[in-house]
Amino acid sequence: MSNLISSSATWRLRARWGMRWPSAETRYELIGLLAAFVAWAAITALAEPIGRQWGTGQDAYCYYQATLVNPYARSDWTSPIAYVYSPAFIQLVAPLTRLPWQAFMAVWTLILLVGVRFLTGPKLFALGVLFALMELAGGNIEILLAVAIVVGFRWPAAWSFVLLTKVTPGVGLLWFAVRREWNQLATALVATGMIMAASAFFMPGAWSEWLTVLSTVSGRDGTWAAVPIPLIARLPAAVAVVVWGATTDRRWTVPVAAMIALPALWYGAFSMLLATIALQRPEWRDTGGSGASTSREPYRARTLGSAAPA
């Protein structure tokens, strides 16, 4: 009886003051925002001082400590602090590195959380934050790679971010090659070349240094924080996954293949799988617009239809 009275009173208050429960979508969004805020606050707070046992931002500090004058002063890939991405990336983040370390970490973590929100949408945002928590805490760029891959189906130039940072996940570009979508492939490669040229104009020596760094880390395995399977063993599997996906119209295979092809498959890198959620949403499942295939017909139907009769 008391429950009925309480429920009746609640409904009368709502009717009187116009109070309504938020919709399910709004509730999911609020829970996601709460989870994101808690993660952001904790990661930012634990970033200072850098190097503590339970500290955050070890990967992000690699970008923070690198300078435009000598970006590869610390470039031993398996050491705790090392910068091994292209000069273009350090040029991109250089304005942020002028901030104090903890402020940099606050902004950087916010950028990564926006990436998670983009990949998961509002309904799965909270779960996405939990799934990517290791990646968020370290501050690595795999979440941004996942965003670039999703966006790259509509704007292939986004692949330049992949090629100028982790490099080997660029195996995902086989999607365009297998499907003979040469305009998209050319757009990705030309955009990458233009960024390299513009960057080299300001930092010509750094690019030769980067090539040297790549040659020294080539074939080396990751540390204890990575899956103990070398790249040379994972790369054929990545190629097989993306080729199969391209011939069977499964876009979700591209971020999976790119993850498998990472130079070191860090445990936090599994956050790239969030891209498979984004690629199931209608707005990204079959994108039109700049650089996209003009045919809405599945690839297998197009190739079979164009085959010569037996």
Q: What are phi and psi of 82, to 5 degrees?
A: -155, 135
Q: What are phi and psi of 127, to 5 degrees?
A: -65, -35
Q: In the predicted model, is pLDDT for residue 221 greater than 60? A: no
At 249-260, the pLDDT tens digits run: 999 999 999 999
CB contact burial 254-288 (16+ within 10 A = b; e otherwise): bbbbbbbbbbbbbebbbbbbbbbbbbeeeebeebe
The two three-digit tokens of residue 134, written as one number:
């290791």
Phi-psi region of 83 (alpha: psi -120 to 50; beta: other; left: phi over 0): beta
At 100-146, the pLDDT tens digits run: 999 999 999 999 999 999 999 999 999 999 999 999 999 999 999 99
Return the amino acid letter for 74.
R
When the pLDDT of each residue in the chain is averaged and rounded to a whole number, the result is 85
Give SS3 for 161.
helix
pLDDT for 295 equals: 44
Other Cβ atoms less than 10 A from the Cβ of 97: the count is 16
Which stretches of 218-249 are DSSP H helices?
A: 231-247
pLDDT for 216 equals: 77
Cis before 282 (ω within 30) = no
Q: In the predicted model, is pLDDT for residue 80 greater than 90? A: no
pLDDT for 138 equals: 93
pLDDT for 285 equals: 74
- Using pLDDT thresholds of 50, 70 and 90, give the confidence band for residue 156: very high
